[in-house]
Structure 1
Amino acid sequence: MAKQQGAGSLWNPNSWHWEEKNYTPISKQLIESKIKSCKVESGDITLLNQEVKSITGDAQINIRKGKQVLIYDFDIEVEWHGVNKDHEAEGTYKIKDLNSLDNDFELIHISCNTKTAISDKCKDLIKKDMFKKLKEAFTTLMQEIGQYESDPEKLKKDQEARRIAEEQVRLAKEQNGELKEKIFYEQKLKEQQMKQEFSQFAQK
């Protein structure tokens, strides 16, 4: 994926310096949404990803010279549920090594809570059909995370926040300069007053 424009923090003018930004929470939200959207229908069986039990790992965007590089690596545990008109089955499986380098994750530990008439068929559907659905869903994950960081509206807000911060710094410097000038002026007045008092004392 081509490097996209990224906005650094307020301390990072023009996003020039190296900066790491935590994108784990938003990445987890996107991953969970994608997993829950995947559904398999085969014959009379409907297979759903009922719940995302856990997502472990992290995601970060590295910004340097106004460009961004996204890195993420996650392991996920999913609860699945299969049903036809007469039977149900449910269990869990794990998505191992979902990462930013490629889209070649694994589905492992596919299990069923109780054996039913459709449980084995559901497990086979997870290995093949659900895997394909997930692979397709995750194809755009990197792009979607990156787009959030390079979103024009977000960049505009970051630039405005940086402008305000720079203006505040400028005003603070001006006020600091005015304060120094005031202290210097007051000190000069004190010196003149002391000279006058000393002169009057010497004349007595």
Structure 2
Amino acid sequence: MAKPQGAGSIWNPNSWHWEEKNYTTIARQLIEQKIKAIKVESGDIILTNIELKSISGDAQVNIRKGKQVLVYDFDIEVEWRGSNESDEAEGTYKIKDLNSLDNDFELIHINSRSKTKISDKCKDMVKRDMHMKLKESFKTLMQEIGQFESDPEKLKKDQEARKHAEEQIKQAKEQNGELKERIFQEQKLKEMKMKQEFTQVSSQ
């Protein structure tokens, strides 16, 4: 399977040289959207993720020979809430080692802030149902992050910017060449004038 096309920076002609581009902010935004969008139900209990308490790690796209390689690794702490008509429970859990190599992350430290009638049931739902839905959602994370780099509109704009930069460099070289030629001609005229003056002085 061919690797997605990637666009290097302006200094990187044809995206040929190795280049690392930071995609941590975009990855974190996508991860947060995915986590907050998940809802699980069991019996009369509805459980949702209400907040990301913390997220650590980074994501980067490596460009080489016009191709992109995405690498990311994150640890995340999530706050959850479960409720039914008569009770509710809240707590946290951690997503350990969400990475680009596989989708085999762990859910650890599944806690409830207080003991209620449904708190234990909610923790079981996090461990089983939430874990399964997170795995399903994160299957497309790599592709979605990569789309920001290989987006056709982005590639088109990059090509236009690269072409504009190349034209500016060409113009600068031409102008520099014209300047050198003008300086050379001016220097040549000065030397000719000095020779004439020297000849006149010598003949007197």
**TM-score using structure 2 length:** 0.96
Q: CA deviation at 1:201?
A: 2.5
CA distance in 2, matches of 1:2, 1:166: 29
- In structure 2, what is the Cα distance between the partners aligned to 1:195 and 1:11? 47
Which residue matches 1:81? 81
Distance 1:34 1:60 in 2: 19
Aligned to 1:18: 18
Q: Which structure 2 residue ranges, 5 or more long, are not aligned?
A: none
**How far does the alpha carbon of each residue in 1:149-189 deviate from its partner, in whole angstroms, 9 at most, with x for none?**
11110100111111111111111111110110111011011
Pairing 1:1-204 to 2, within 5 Å after superposition: 2-204=2-204
CA shift in 2, pair 1:103/1:2, >3 Å: farther
Shift of residue 73, structure 1, vs aligned partner: 1.0
Alpha-carbon shift at residue 51 of structure 1 (Å)? 0.3
Q: Distance in 2 between matches of 1:202 and 1:12?
A: 60
Q: Give the whole-Å Cα distance in 1 for the aligned partners of 2:109 and 2:41.
A: 22
- Pairwise CA distance, 1:15: 1.1
Distance (Å, rounded) in 2 between the aligned partners of 1:47 and 1:2: 40
Query: Any stretches of 5+ residues in structure 1 without a counterpart?
Result: none
Superposed CA RMSD: 1.2
Distance 1:117 1:175 in 2: 80
CA distance in 1, matches of 2:76, 2:143: 20
What TM-score, normalized to structure 1? 0.96
Distance in 1, matches of 2:166 and 2:2, equals: 31
Return the offset for 1:133. 1.0
* Separation in structure 2 between the aligned mates of residue 2 and residue 164 of structure 1, nearest angstrom: 29
Number of corresponding residues: 204
